[in-house]
Amino acid sequence: MLQRSVGREMYPPIEPYASAMMDVTDGHRIYWETSGNPQGHPALFLHGGPGSGTSPKQRRFFDPNAYRIILFDQRGCGKSEPFSSLENNTTAKLIEDIEALRNLLKVDKWLVFGGSWGSTLALAYAEAYPERVSHLVLRGIFLLRRAELLFFYQEGTSWLYPDAWEDYVAQIPPEERSDMISAYYKRLTSDDPKTRKDACIAWAAWEGQTATLLPDNSVIGSYEAVAESISRIECHYFVNGGFVPEGSLIEKANIDRIRHIPAIIVQGRYDLVCPAKSAWDLHKVWPEADLRFTPDAGHSAFDVGNQKALLDACDQFRPTSFTQS
């Protein structure tokens, strides 16, 4: 029998007390902001995509009295510049951007929160700099394996959303449909503006329609709003295998580097974007991490069960004492 999650409201809306652009390498500039308690425990939010950018709602997973909440837009998206750029946009570059931001903000250790692609980047960053991570909160695990990409962009989710899939494949001639990611990449990097725009819209619509357990126009709209950056940057990463060796994120040597870090994994049971097998595979090699399946949630962090589980996770890692802001 399907269990129904008890909902939980997010923390109230807040505004940043500081924000700026930071010059990083290769001509990129990234937007960052801090909110909550300047004296609180630092908490870094890593957005998904890659290419979706941050939103004010993401600040609200954290108790603003206890946490110094840090958000930033990864290369090429949100307020970062140049917008939608694929040049020098790789996983390794993003990891170094995170370290540059940590140094700029004079953070010793921070809680790192990431969902979907954010979980990928959080794992990669923690494995590179385990001494800088106090806790991990991960949601909708994505390990950048070829099988995961094929399930969502080739055959798998298509069996459950055949109507939405039909609109997605309509952009691609039948003779190119054996490799949808490559076919879309050709169009998303086309010199023709209409070709690019049509491909951006279709790519983002497919993801938006499949991201929640039940249809949610606000979530679909959020994908439409970032269609250009999320489609181009995602496809750029995926056609390049995420710029990481296949399966490397869960190799024993890498997991051993983070095994000591307290971690909570929140996974929607019916996640069709990042299916539960990836979270299970991560848990099998890292049993010390606390895996929490939400029985009535899909991919979105804002599905009722996922939202409550993520809020609870951040509260569990909240410092027991802190200076009021």
φ, ψ (nearest 5 deg) of residue 158: -60, -30
Burial (CB count within 10 angstroms: exposed 0-12, middle 13-18, buried 19+), residue 4: exposed
**C-alpha distance across the termini of the chain, in Å:** 45
Active site residue 216: no
Q: Say which of 63, 73, 271, 303 is annotated catalytic.
A: 271
Q: Say which of 80, 299, 300, 303 is annotated catalytic.
A: 299
Q: What is the Cα Rg of the chain in Å?
A: 19
φ, ψ (nearest 5 deg) of residue 42: -65, 135
Report DSSP letters for 190-215, one per residue: -S-HHHHHHHHHHHHHHHHHHSSSS-
Strand residue runs (E) in 131-252: 133-139
Q: Say which of 35, 116, 222, 300 is annotated catalytic.
A: 116
Active site residue 116: yes
Judge whether 44 and 300 are in contact, CB under 8 Å.
no
Active site residue 299: yes
Distance separating alpha carbons of residues 78 and 101, to the nearest angstrom? 16
Residue 81 is classified by DSSP as: B
- The catalytic residue positions are 116, 271, 299
